[in-house]
Structure 1
Amino acid sequence: MDKGFGRRRRRRLYGVGALASVAVLAVTAGSAATAVPAQPSHALPADWLPTVSPIKHVVVIFGENISFDHYFGTYPNAANTDGTPFQAARHTPKVDGLSHELLTNNPNAYNPKRLTHEQALTCDQNHNYGAEQAAFNGGKMDKFVEKTETDKCTGQPVLFGEPGLVMDYYDGNTVTGMWNYAQHYALNDNSFNTNFGPSTPGAINLISGNTHGVQAVDPVTHEPVSDDYAVQSPDEHGVGTMINDPEPAWDDCSDKNHTAKDNLATMHGRNIGDLLNQRHVTWGWFQGGFRPTGTANGYSVCGQKHANVGGQSSVDYSPHHEPFQYYPSTANPKHVPPSSVHAIGQSDQANHQYDVSDFNDSLKAGSMPAVSFLKAPEYQDGHAGYSDPLDEQQFVVDEINRIQRSPEWRSTAVVLAYDDSDGWYDHVRSRVVNGSHDAEQDQAVCTGKPTTQGSYADRCGYGPRLPLMVISPYSKVNFVDHTHTDQASVLRFIEDNWLTGRIGDSSFDARAGGMWNMLDLWWPSGGKLPLDPKTGAVTR
């Protein structure tokens, strides 16, 4: 267990006595995943399950493409020249953000500038595995403009772009909801992408802590094929590490509903869904646009679209943002709906993969799963180029408001985390704990580092710094945590709370820093905080 959790907390299990006894015998925290009793036909209600804390529900809202400095670089000081006014509470702790020196004499080619509320729609930056390493420039953190900047958005006149854009940031007048959550709950300013690279590796790290184990397959036959986009450093069986965004093999909606011919990717190994199933824990991944809009050529079609605040439309569902669809054990290839509202979270025909609307239905019915991962539709996921902070805020605030209005709020922890940095500037150099030596991809920041004993020598990390928050009655209030964490810390938190054991196979969950320091389990003081989804302002 993590040191910050405390010895007294380790001795107490929150759950019915008989099940707690089974849990203690079945799992030794911190070890590789251990044998557990066979799963019954139906998992137990969340409140009945043994946990090491009073938290019976975890909801992970997993956003897209934000570096810490891009949202929190000047926290808690806002300009208040546009957007929603923001005034920090007295004695708000400072974060490791953009100092006066970094704002006025930055080592990059441009100084960071504040983006206004009217500049919420911006160009998407280069967030590839190699480009992000190059921007780090061996740890000098001074080549973002040359290596990850995209300052012109071809064919997208509503998007803002100018030279130096990659350095720029928002403050509490635009990301108002995020700053208000930081004011009233717990924010971590020392959390990192588990590896360098884009969306899919980040999502895989969230659920397994291990991007090794990927294999490219033919989109029709699922026979293994050679593909250096999907697989880095393959072994003799074509299994290697994922550093890009191949689409999942076990998803009808991949390859633009199978109208394209790109190879797909399957993952070997286990994920947190497998461990939760063994522990009889209800869980689900809920993603916008997952519900099919029809069929074509024998495949389900995900055709639902929405427009962002600038009027740009995009398809809601992005297959490569759905990590469980890469694993045969947890995939729902045909996007089959749950058999009933009360079956959501159970092991039925949907196999734990759902539309966001299914989460809201289960919450309304009083049967929210113990562990839920929420992924916004594309226009609300925060990804620059087709989404933005204002649309992201609408989704995040709306979902948290719903949860806080429910009886389950009293035993819930909502985690706000991100899949990658989008290449946006962040001044903090990550501690590279696992090097890599691919001549075509890796830069000095990775090739000069050894790999941990027993780990794979082809997944460089930690990568860029990302935001991380915990919103809960048990959150420390107006608190900034400096514990070193990464995406696999969210995985580890779930593993520890439900006594699942570890993923194994060199997963980063074994080395991930803990999130317990963001919580006060003995004196819960994080009250409800209703916000306006459009403005992010406190409504009470």
Structure 2
Amino acid sequence: MPEFKQPSSRKRAAAASTAAVAGVSLLAASLLGLGAAPGTAGESPHGTATPIKHVVVIFQENVSFDHYFATYPQAANTPGETQQGSGIAAPAFTAAKNTPKGINTLANAGLLAPNNPNSIQPARLSPMQAVTCDQDHGYTSEQKAYNAGLMDKFVQFTSRDSCGANQFGRPGLTMDYYDGNTVTGIWNYAQNYAMSDNHFSTTLGPSTPGALNLVAGQTHGVKEFSAAGAPVATPAAGSYTVRQPDANGIGTVTNDPDPVYDDCSNNSHASANNLAAMTGKNVGDLLNAKGVSWGWFQGGFAPTTPSTAGSPASCLSSHGNAAGAKVTDYSPHHEPFQYYASTANPHHLAPASPAEIGHNGQANHQYDLTAFNHVVNTDNMPAVSFLKAGMSQDGHAAYSDPLDEQNFITATVNNIQKSKNWDSTAVVIAYDDSDGWYDHVAATVKNSSNTADDAAWCQNAAAAGVPMGGGYADRCGPGPRQPLLVISPYAKKNFVDHTESNQSSILRFIEDNWHTGQIGDASADATAGSLANMFNFHHQRSDLVLLNEQNGTVAAITHTGNGRGNGRPDSGS
């Protein structure tokens, strides 16, 4: 891997200025003139703008930043607590002395009880309350909760306070948060790698818009189909699948329709919903055009009943969660590439061989999660991998929880760190939406909308002249603030980035690193904030931090002896 010399501040400023004039990406600008090999600006000899040759995006479900980080890095460490389900002792958490100050948490904002403006005060959830009620996270409901940016109507518009057996609920549940005694693994990754306290959903709303914004930066371009797969020529305005359809029936996704190019959409659950297909391009199309290997790997994607002539596949495998509930693994509306004809694997075909993984073939880059384990420690690990846990481990309230999620994330990251590809890998942990959980920060509206689906927050922005990208309605954003972490030998250590970013910033990082170009058509990638400040591309760390897969504590810190750089310490910039 090439070494990069640290430039002078004058040289960095000149490079940034040159990039701004030339329209070069911010990521490439960070390496302009910094010892990179000749050729494309910032490009390494292996065709990437940075030393990162593998990006792994672990895309989880339904968490706001304050829900996991309200009191970071201070945990209650209450004696006698145990983890729901296992009954093992909850871990204590003590922050490193050099943990950054000024993190935009609920505690640092002075908005813990009794000082919160919402009608019910925030309260800590214990490890014994891991499985909770699901909250209302609709596009319009979230805007109403924002109350034009005052952030004080969450109890009225997103809180769901009672639910099923073994699921915790209370009045004003939306206000509640976990600390390092429950989300111990996430807090330890933040302590040892880089996190953001200023990362948002690209738009408001639930899972499908978040997944589409990750891979395309675009929720407009959807066409509606019946549950049987027949085109719906003129969908009703405001229908479940399509908002604000034009004369051709093409509109915007604000809810969670299942993908039409997926056998399992209406063959793996009791409901029979209308279906959706996306037009336009996604990052898979861009990577294919450049010959870059990639794949989406999702729990439960392997069918339990294969497709046969005239009979679609079904996907009904399941696992238990911390509450003892049986949960189906596969969720079709969490799989964004299945909405696009170009990147779908409708019958859930397995790759013909491990050599196909990441490349063109019958699986068309869509795989069961287990396929990633076949390639992570090989030369065939894809350059870009998107990982989606089975539903019991994806973190979504009601059917998943932070303890089951922690088991998945730590096991996955440990596996990557132990692989031969770790020294050139960046793992990004991100979320598809907030679930409606309270967060005290509202980003300034960057993309407006003014329809019946929009509340005062977005309508006021439209009236004030905030543009509506592409003229496409119902893409108001940024949406709620969410956790974002980067785990890599090039990630800054115990670092908190304040750069504003959103889900499409991950898309932009991939585009810039592999020089794919952008999606176009008013995709959010064009204006998404950079993730570059979470990295130090001029220093490869030698420390390896492995976590306990049961409780998230630090299991081992080793040194690989592969660290390269300019003598700067692992922490800071």
Q: Which residue identity does 1:196 align to in structure 2?
A: L
Question: Is the partner of 1:416 in helix, strand or coil?
Answer: strand
Aligned positions of 1:265-276 closer than 5 A: 265-276=276-287
User: Shift of residue 13 of structure 1?
Assistant: 9.5
Aligned positions of 1:102-141 closer than 5 A: 102-103=111-112, 104-141=114-151
Question: Is the partner of 1:306 in helix, strand or coil?
Answer: strand
1:118 and 1:240 map into 2 onto residues whose CA distance is 43
Contact kept? 1:472, 1:526, Cα under 8 Å: no
2:247 and 2:29 map into 1 onto residues whose CA distance is 46
Which residue in the other structure is 2:97 paired with?
A: 90
Which residue in the other structure is 1:73 paired with?
A: 70
Which residue in the other structure is 2:193 paired with?
A: 185
Q: List per-residue Cα deviations over 1:333-358 (Å, max 9, x = no partner).
A: 00000111121000111000001100
Is 1:460 the equivalent of 2:490? no
Is 1:172 the equivalent of 2:184? no
Which residue in the other structure is 1:40 paired with?
A: none
1:336 and 1:5 map into 2 onto residues whose CA distance is 36
Among 18, 31, 54, the alignment partner of 1:9 is 31
2:111 and 2:25 map into 1 onto residues whose CA distance is 34
User: Shift of residue 526 of structure 1?
Assistant: 6.4
Aligned positions of 1:495-510 closer than 5 A: 495-510=511-526
Contact kept? 2:449, 2:475, Cα under 8 Å: yes
**Which moved further from structure 2: 89-98 or 182-191?**
89-98
- TM-score, normalised relative to structure 2: 0.86
1:279 and 1:198 map into 2 onto residues whose CA distance is 31
Which residue in the other structure is 2:563 paired with?
A: none
Runs of at least 5 residues in structure 1 that lack an aligned partner in the other structure:
30-46
User: Shift of residue 12 of structure 1?
Assistant: 6.9
Is 1:238 the equivalent of 2:254? no
User: Shift of residue 456 of structure 1?
Assistant: 1.9
Contact kept? 1:412, 1:472, Cα under 8 Å: yes
Contact kept? 1:477, 1:526, Cα under 8 Å: no
Contact kept? 1:13, 1:50, Cα under 8 Å: no
Which residue in the other structure is 1:37 paired with?
A: none
Change (3 A) 1:259 1:295: farther
Change (3 A) 1:203 1:7: closer
Contact kept? 2:229, 2:260, Cα under 8 Å: no
Change (3 A) 1:369 1:48: farther
2:448 and 2:30 map into 1 onto residues whose CA distance is 37
Is 1:308 the equivalent of 2:318? no
Is 1:443 the equivalent of 2:443? no
User: Shift of residue 459 of structure 1?
Assistant: 1.1
1:344 and 1:7 map into 2 onto residues whose CA distance is 32
Among 214, 238, 245, the alignment partner of 1:206 is 214
Question: Is the partner of 2:56 in helix, strand or coil?
Answer: strand
User: Shift of residue 295 of structure 1?
Assistant: 3.9
User: Shift of residue 449 of structure 1?
Assistant: 1.4
Among 347, 352, 358, the alignment partner of 2:371 is 358
Question: Is the partner of 1:461 in helix, strand or coil?
Answer: coil
User: Shift of residue 362 of structure 1?
Assistant: 1.1
Contact kept? 1:474, 1:526, Cα under 8 Å: no
1:13 and 1:338 map into 2 onto residues whose CA distance is 40
Which residue in the other structure is 1:475 paired with?
A: 491
2:322 and 2:360 map into 1 onto residues whose CA distance is 37
Q: List per-residue Cα deviations over 1:447-483 (Å, max 9, x = no partner).
A: 1113246442331111110111100000000000000
Contact kept? 2:27, 2:509, Cα under 8 Å: no
% identity of equivalent residues: 54
Contact kept? 1:10, 1:52, Cα under 8 Å: no
Which residue in the other structure is 1:318 paired with?
A: 331
Residue-pair matches, total: 512
1:444 and 1:8 map into 2 onto residues whose CA distance is 39
Higher relative contact order (CA 8 A, sep 6+): 1
Contact kept? 1:4, 1:517, Cα under 8 Å: no
> Which is richer in helix?
1
2:356 and 2:98 map into 1 onto residues whose CA distance is 46
Change (3 A) 1:219 1:390: same
Among 507, 510, 514, the alignment partner of 1:494 is 510
Change (3 A) 1:443 1:244: same
CA RMSD of aligned residues (A): 2.0
1:338 and 1:215 map into 2 onto residues whose CA distance is 29
Which residue in the other structure is 1:374 paired with?
A: 387
Question: Is the partner of 2:512 in helix, strand or coil?
Answer: helix
User: Shift of residue 523 of structure 1?
Assistant: 1.3
Is 1:520 the equivalent of 2:536? yes
Change (3 A) 1:260 1:295: farther
2:474 and 2:370 map into 1 onto residues whose CA distance is 38
Contact kept? 1:252, 1:258, Cα under 8 Å: no
Which residue in the other structure is 1:42 paired with?
A: none
User: Shift of residue 259 of structure 1?
Assistant: 6.5
Contact kept? 2:182, 2:402, Cα under 8 Å: yes
Contact kept? 2:252, 2:473, Cα under 8 Å: no
